[in-house]
Amino acid sequence: MALTDSLDELIQLDKITPQLALKVLAQFDKSITEALDGKVKTRATFKQGSLRTYRFCDEVWTFIIKDPNLRIEHEQLHVDKIKIVACSAKKPGEAEK
């Protein structure tokens, strides 16, 4: 969100174009995905909770679960809600298996 806010401010100040801001966001998404794919090994599971919202738009699923019990590594957490955003792992142009 901080990146988006900063880019919006730069657009408002006519320092960059909206097209450049979109390219920056796309590169950020790509870089973060690559970094997380190779370095993050922690898994989280959740039990209970209630599904409050779900949607599928532009090949992206979004779920909001209220009052879940999370388990991350060996620690259990209770949170008010969790938002899960999931998209296809296949690369553009790659055929489905």
The pLDDT tens digits of the residues spanning 30-43 come to 888 888 877 878 88
Residue 84 to residues 7, 15, 57, 58, Cα–Cα distance (Å): 25, 34, 14, 15
Determine the pLDDT at residue 35.
83
pLDDT tens track for 45-66: 888 889 999 999 888 899 999 9
pTM comes to 0.53
Q: Any alpha helices (H) in the chain, and if so which ranges?
A: 2-12, 18-39
Q: Residue 55's beta-bridge partner residues?
A: 62
Determine the pLDDT at residue 27.
92
Architecture of the CATH domain 42-88 = Roll (2.30)
Determine the pLDDT at residue 6.
96
Residues of the chain with CATH 2.30.18.10: 42-88
